[in-house]
Amino acid sequence: MRFPENFIWGAATSAYQIEGAHLSDGKGPSIWDAFCEIPGKVAKNENGNIACDHYNKFREDVKLMKELGIKAYRFSISWPRIFANGRKNSINEKGIQFYSDLIDCLLEHDIIPWVTLYHWDLPLALQFEEDGWLGDNISDLFAEYAELCFERFGDRVKNWITINEAWVIAILGYGQGVFAPGRISNSEPYLAGHNILLAHGKAVKVYREKFQSSQKGVIGITNNCDWREPKSDKPEDIEAAERALEFFLAWFADPIYKGDYPEVMKARLGDRLPSIDAETRNLLLGSSDFFGLNHYTTMFATDATGKNVEADVHGNGGLNEDQEVELSIDPDWKLTSMKWAVVPWGCRNLLQWIKKRYNNPPIYITENGCAYDDKVENGEVDDQHRVHFFKTYLEACQEAIESGVDLRGYFAWSLFDNFEWASGYEKRFGMVHVDFETQKRTPKASAKYYSSIIDNNSI
């Protein structure tokens, strides 16, 4: 089966993970620059100071994308490269020039830019001065930064993503403290999440009021969600899986598609979950032109009402106590080097769940991919595990499309091996291998496989 005509085939990256040049040409520090300085937060105490040196190598990187036949490139803009201290009074023209040149270079190669405005690298000054995503002003400051981007790049960028993965920012950054800014709390994630939604809503409002009709682009948000499969067909396990999906994806998608947080979250979190008043409801409802989805893995869900589930690698414990859901995996499932299970049918089920809950929105998978311990041998990387991953997940996408899901595009994560946050450089997600000593790029077998899929518009 072929994919729909005009299906968007892309690859994705993010600023801090690939650019390097972390303080070059007037860029200010971000919370990730600071977080990496804390011993023990990142594997081997690595950082994104150089990463793939994409800031200096973007022209050859775009050429490589063209050779691979990539049609769309999703990258993110680093807020502190644009406003060094996060505010309008610290505008950095050299940083703006970098993105402007990158965008021009992409367009010259017929590659469509898909731009994410926030992929986790908050200006450090705003962490100190505004308490990061907990602050009352942060959403307005984000909207001002977004406006500058629309102004300077919107003549050429027609696809905007406001925020990448509100769940990760809130839970991993403010709940578990494993990502910047490293806060540990069982209430702050819900306040951070709320302000992230406000930031998204305010940026969209600016775009729609001042730019959208003349620039003719689209804007939306990307959220991440793993699939939760009921462990048994007992009603309480079916409910537990549903509850887990509501705490994961509906937390951020319901306000946008239904105008309020899920009932189950309101009931279980009480005062910890800010409420959505009429004004906020208006701001958020209908504020995404498409449903951006990042998806990586699947777990079983078992009802754990009244049980004390111990914290473990499957994400149990901690904040999950609010849900009373126990997570587990099937021992037969194959794992990637992140220990994430490869379960393509979970991707299909999740797409169908979104279709049903949100009335069949246009969906773009803005990230999907896997990490493996790839090695260069005789100048080649034969990553057959990743080839298999893309093949089976794309087959699952086709099944979803056949069942009526309006899936319009797919972005592989990631174009390059890069700085994998708290895991450092050891976890390789790229279709293109990067030797971080020499900065040599080597397309893996999966890159060639992905090229052929794009060429044929079918698997």
Return the active site residues.
165, 367
324 near ligand PNW, rule: CB under 6 A: no
Pairwise CA distance, residues 211 & 204, whole Å: 10
Tokens, residue 432? 């293109």
Helix H or strand E segment including 368 = strand 363-368
Pairwise CA distance, residues 396 & 375, whole Å: 28
Q: Which of 131, 367, 399, 417 binds ligand PNW (CB under 6 A)?
A: 367
Number of CB atoms found within 10 A of residue 105's CB: 18
Q: Residues in contact with ligand PNW, total (CB under 6 A)?
A: 12
Question: One symbol per residue from 414 to 443: x for binding ligand PNW (CB under 6 A), - otherwise; what is it?
Answer: ------x--------x--------------
224 near ligand PNW, rule: CB under 6 A: yes
Helix H or strand E segment including 242 = helix 235-245
Number of CB atoms found within 10 A of residue 155's CB: 13
Pairwise CA distance, residues 180 & 214, whole Å: 37
Between 294 and 320, whose beta carbon lies closer to ligand PNW?
294
User: Segment contacting ligand PNW (CB under 6 A): 2-10, 160-168, 196-204, 381-389?
Assistant: 160-168
Answer yes or no: are the C-beta atoms of 425 and 18 closer than 8 Å. Answer: no
Length of the chain: 459
Between 176 and 212, whose beta carbon lies closer to ligand PNW?
176
223 near ligand PNW, rule: CB under 6 A: no
Between 28 and 369, whose beta carbon lies closer to ligand PNW?
369
165 near ligand PNW, rule: CB under 6 A: yes
User: Segment contacting ligand PNW (CB under 6 A): 54-62, 164-172, 352-360, 439-447?
Assistant: 164-172
Name the residue with tokens 């087959």. 395
Helices assigned H by DSSP within 326-440:
344-357, 384-402
Between 159 and 212, whose beta carbon lies closer to ligand PNW?
159
Strand partners, 219: 160
Answer yes or no: are the C-beta atoms of 95 and 140 closer than 8 Å. Answer: no
164 near ligand PNW, rule: CB under 6 A: yes
14 near ligand PNW, rule: CB under 6 A: yes
Question: One symbol per residue from 84 to 103: x for binding ligand PNW (CB under 6 A), - otherwise; what is it?
Answer: --------------------
Q: Which of 413, 416, 425, 450 binds ligand PNW (CB under 6 A)?
A: 413
Name the residue with tokens 């011993």. 39
Q: How many CA atoms lie within 13 A of 121 on its CB side?
A: 33
DSSP code of residue 448: H
Between 294 and 446, whose beta carbon lies closer to ligand PNW?
294
Nearest approach in angstroms of CB 121 to ligand PNW is 11
19 near ligand PNW, rule: CB under 6 A: no
Nearest approach in angstroms of CB 14 to ligand PNW is 5
168 near ligand PNW, rule: CB under 6 A: yes
Strand partners, 74: 12, 114
Binding site for ligand PNW (CB under 6 A): 14, 17, 164-165, 168, 224, 294, 296, 367, 413, 420, 429
